[in-house]
Amino acid sequence: MKKRLIAVAVVLALILAALGTFLVVRHVRNNRPPTLESLRPRVEALINASHEINEIFWGEGLATYPRVYKQSYTRHPFYLEKQDNVYVYSATETDNKLYYYTFTDNEVGEILAYQYCLKVGDGAYADVELGGALTISDKIKYRYAKVSTAQDPTAIFEKDGKYYIPLPDYKEKEVELYYTASDPENYDYVRADAGYLTIDAIKMKAETVYANDFLSSVCESIFTGIKVSENTSGTLYARYIDHTDSEGESYLMKSNTWKAANVSRAYLFDTMRLSEKRKSNAKDVFIDIDTYVPGNEGVIQTLTVSFTLQAGQWYLNSATY
């Protein structure tokens, strides 16, 4: 009886050992990383697509509108009198009042802007400079003249030693967007044609390239900000914010205090190989690739790029710049 029990125990031990060996072999086999050739198209596509996200996150970032405030010029009245059906300047006040203002154009110099449309009756408007009838839409328009101290035969007016030379084709420079005093001082408006109008739009694009685990570690600094101490200098403000202006319109804004990094990097995909220092498995793969910074092609640097399997698809799990 005792010998029979010993025999059974030995048999069970052999079975368990065999099963353990089978499970270990199966685990090792199932945990093998995919072949490099099977990953190559996805690796190249992800790294190429990552350049745009790197630029948005850490590089120069999305293009913004220049920080220009709309200038307000003081308007001054001037008066006209009618002589033989022609309007001329009057040094004294009359019922024929128009307005002018002056400003400086860095390329042209001092410029006079003056109204030329005068209401002369019910629904009737006249061009006091060139003659002819105008409409109410011309009442708020201006013409321009260069202010000069040099005599000029083309001057339309002269007063106190200054000559006003017509600029028939001149147009005041306008910008696409003017900032106001209520706009956040440390953030600029992202251009409407920059490709992304909200934080969510940037995140959605990033999620097609980088893994969720990686993004969770960087999105806080990019979109929320990080406070490391109570001191002002201890706060890293978000690079991008969604901003609603005083009129209820929503815009994407980018920090103008962040220091951009150089994220340009070229990859020599023919040098791609599985990393020997970091072991890959069925879920996480580490690939060494030779790279260089454009403009400095003679300095080759090998980077280890991490990839992880997420919902059946491979994604980058480390930055590529």
Residue type, 26: R
Q: Is the pLDDT of residue 236 over 50?
A: yes
Question: pTM of the entire structure?
Answer: 0.73
The string of pLDDT tens digits covering residues 56-104 is 999 999 999 999 998 889 999 999 999 988 999 999 999 999 999 999 9
pLDDT of residue 11: 58
* 47 in Cβ contact with 267 (< 8 Å): yes
Among 318, 305, 321, 320, which Cα is nearest to 39's?
Answer: 305
The widest CA-to-CA distance across the chain, in whole angstroms, is 143
> For residue 173, what pLDDT band results from cuts at 50, 70 and 90?
confident
- Could you give the CA distance from residue 201 to residue 242 in angstroms, rounded to a whole number? 11
Query: Encoding tokens for residue 6?
Result: 């010993």
pLDDT of residue 229: 62
Q: Is the pLDDT of residue 22 over 60?
A: no
Q: Is the pLDDT of residue 27 over 60?
A: no
Average pLDDT over residues 29-37: 85
Alpha-carbon 214 to chain mean position: 22
Average pLDDT over residues 179-197: 95
Q: Provide the mean pLDDT of the chain.
A: 91
Q: Is the pLDDT of residue 2 over 80?
A: no
For residue 39, CA distances in Å to 131, 163, 208, 302, 313 come to 77, 75, 16, 19, 11
189 vs 234, higher pLDDT: 189
pLDDT of residue 226: 84
Locus of tokens 């790294």? 47
Give strand ranges (E) for the chain. Answer: 76-83, 86-90, 96-105, 109-114, 117-121, 124-127, 133-134, 143-148, 157-159, 162-166, 187-189, 225-227, 235-237, 240-244, 250-255, 266-274, 284-292, 301-310, 313-316
pLDDT of residue 45: 98
Locus of tokens 């706009």? 183
Q: Is the pLDDT of residue 26 over 60?
A: no
Upper half-sphere CA count for residue 144 (Cβ side, 13 Å): 16
pLDDT of residue 14: 61
Residue type, 225: G
pLDDT of residue 20: 54
Locus of tokens 């199966």? 26
- Could you give the CA distance from residue 282 to residue 221 in angstroms, rounded to a whole number? 31
- Could you give the CA distance from residue 184 to residue 179 in angstroms, rounded to a whole number? 9
Q: Is the pLDDT of residue 209 over 70?
A: yes
Element (H, E) at 153: none
Question: What residues does 314 pair with on adjacent strands?
Answer: 309
> For residue 24, what pLDDT band results from cuts at 50, 70 and 90?
very low
Helical segments of the chain, H only = 2-30, 36-57, 199-206, 212-219
The string of pLDDT tens digits covering residues 95-136 is 999 999 999 999 999 999 999 999 999 989 999 999 999 999
